[in-house]
Amino acid sequence: MASQYEDASKKLRRLPHVFARVLELPIHSSADVSVEETSDSFRFTAATPANTDHTNIAGDVRVHTIKIFPGVTKIVIRGVCSPLLDELKFDLWRFRLPASTRLDMASARCSSGGKLVVTVPKGLDEK
C-alpha cells in the first residue's frame, strides 16, 4: 500500500496553495481594504494603523518585489522603519494578482488622510 501513496505523491508537480503573484499589505488580514480595478491598474486603499507589531506605516512606505521561486513573486509593502522583510507573519492581508499585472511598476504611498494606497499597473508581461 505504501507504493500507492508514493506514486500519487510523485505526480504532484506544483503546490496548489502557492500563487504566482501575490500582494502583501502590512495590515491585519481582517482589515477592510478597498480594491478597485480599472482598465489599466488595480488600486488598493486601506486605513493605516498608527503602529502595529507588523510595521509602522504612518509615514513613508516602500514596495519590495521578492522572487520566492522561479515564477512565484510577491510584492511586499513595508514602512521605511519596518522590520526585516524575511520576518514571517501569517496574519497579514494578501491578494492574489492576475498574470496581467506589472509587479515591477507597483507603487505605494500614504495619503495625508491616513490611507495606504497601493497601485499595481496592468500591461503585457515581459516574459
The count of other CB atoms within 10 Å of the CB of residue 101 is 20
Grid cell listed for 6: 508514493
| 105 residue type, one letter | M
Domains and CATH numbers, the chain: 21-121 (2.60.40)
Return per-residue pLDDT of the chain as tens, 127 residues: 555 555 555 555 555 556 889 999 988 999 999 999 999 999 999 998 654 444 456 568 889 998 988 888 999 998 877 655 556 677 889 999 999 999 999 999 988 778 999 999 998 644 4
Give 3's DSSP letter: H
Spatial distance between the Cα atoms of 122 and 101, rounded to a whole number of angstroms? 4
Q: State the DSSP H helix or E strand holding residue 10, giving kind and residue range, or none if neither.
A: helix 2-10
Using DSSP's 3-state secondary structure scheme, residue 64 falls into: strand
The predicted model scores a pTM of 0.74
Grid cell listed for 101: 499585472
